[in-house]
Amino acid sequence: MRQELPLRALLPLAVVVLLGCLTEVLPAGLLLGMSADFGVSPSATGQLVTGYALTTALTAIPLTALVSRLPRKPVLLALVLGFAVTNFVIAASPWYSAVFVARIASGAITGVMWSLVAVYAMSIAPPARAGRALAVAMAGTPLGFAVGVPAGTLLGELVGWRWAFVVMGLIAVPLLGWVAAVVPPVPAVPASGTRRGVPGMWPVFVVVAGFSLGHNVLYTYLGPVLAGFGRTGLLGAVLLVFGGAAVGGILAVGAALDRFPRAVLAWCPALTAVGIVLLACSDGSPPVVLAAVALWGLAFGGAPTAFQAVTAVVAGRTADHAQSLTIAAWNGAVAGGAALGGVVLDHAAPALPWTAAALMLVPLLVSPLIPLARRDTALAGT
């Protein structure tokens, strides 16, 4: 008898992920407006991404360990409420310093959210559907790039960047009721069930960190890069194409991950590098720029899901600690990418895409070392 996915419960989890994704990356689409409003440079505004991601990286492991002993559903509701409060604070604050503090708080919330939702989705699904359940829950990430970031950017251009954060706070209010109504409770994990050492995880962390670093060196500063081409007005279209392609990427990964996990891990950084190199060589030509970001977005779309699924395969379906380490590796590299990108932007802006492409060699070369032998069928629950 076929076991069905619990879509009724997975869909609000996907919206929680969407909200977290938007909260994290929205300043990339509002960089120039926020810089002008606060009277700081674009690279300084980019540190709102850096500080957020660094906090996520530093707090994901200890906070996940702390909340793993609590019932999951109340923790999930508290995280959604935290997103609402911090986004409203950002929207209302007249000071850059207060916005930075609110971003730090949001970063801590996000570190727990990524780990919690991944384990939550796989826990409420039938074992044979755990990988696909994770893909559904993580669909909020490419949807955030596809719809949320371009819409937020457009809203910021029309009525001001603050309204984009108001909208995110408003999304969280009905989401609280939705989660409370349809997401089933999941018990806490006993203290003895949390692994502190998982053999074979180090190449996973290197792949995750290398991919995230290369991606964020460039993605955080797409606005200034396009301005360097004289194509500032193309930013909205670029983000929309990137996000639409990312949705296609997660669909492709969802179909291929169970059968070809190693190929997915190789193709994500390889196609990302090709897309970034094409962007660097575009000379600002709109068709070439859009084709480049479409390829980049397609490769990026399924990467977060693939990384968390492979973590589950190597570490076990309930390995909260391993998931938090993956999240820490990803977000530490987000912070590093935003910081490194800001340095390159200030001193050698044309080198930004080439730096990003070169960094993609790290996950491409290390991914074959991930110990997926005799575990490739685990994603399918066999």
Q: Distance (Å, rounded) from C-alpha 60 to C-alpha 333?
A: 13
Which residues in the chain come in under a pLDDT of 70? 1-3, 28, 43, 127-131, 142, 145-149, 188-199, 254-255, 257-258, 315-321, 373-382
pTM of the model: 0.73
Note the pLDDT of residue 319.
55
Note the pLDDT of residue 330.
80
- What is the DSSP track for 13-79? HHHHHHHHHHHHHHHHHSHHHHHHHHT--HHHHHHHHHHHHHHHHHHHHHHHHHHTTS-HHHHHHHH
Note the pLDDT of residue 194.
44
Note the pLDDT of residue 189.
59
Instruction: Give the start-to-end residue ranges of the domains of the chain.
Output: 1-184, 198-372
CATH match for 198-372 among 1.10.357.10, 1.10.286.10, 3.30.2350.10, 1.20.1250.20? 1.20.1250.20
Just give the CATH number of 1-184: 1.20.1250.20
Q: Read off the amino acid at residue 55.
A: T
Tens-digit pLDDT profile for residues 329-365? 887 787 788 788 888 888 888 889 999 999 999 999 9
Equal CATH topology for 1-184 and 198-372: yes
CB under 8 A, 24+ apart: contacts of 93-97: 95/38, 96/38, 96/40
Note the pLDDT of residue 195.
47
* Residue showing tokens 């609402």: 84
Note the pLDDT of residue 128.
65
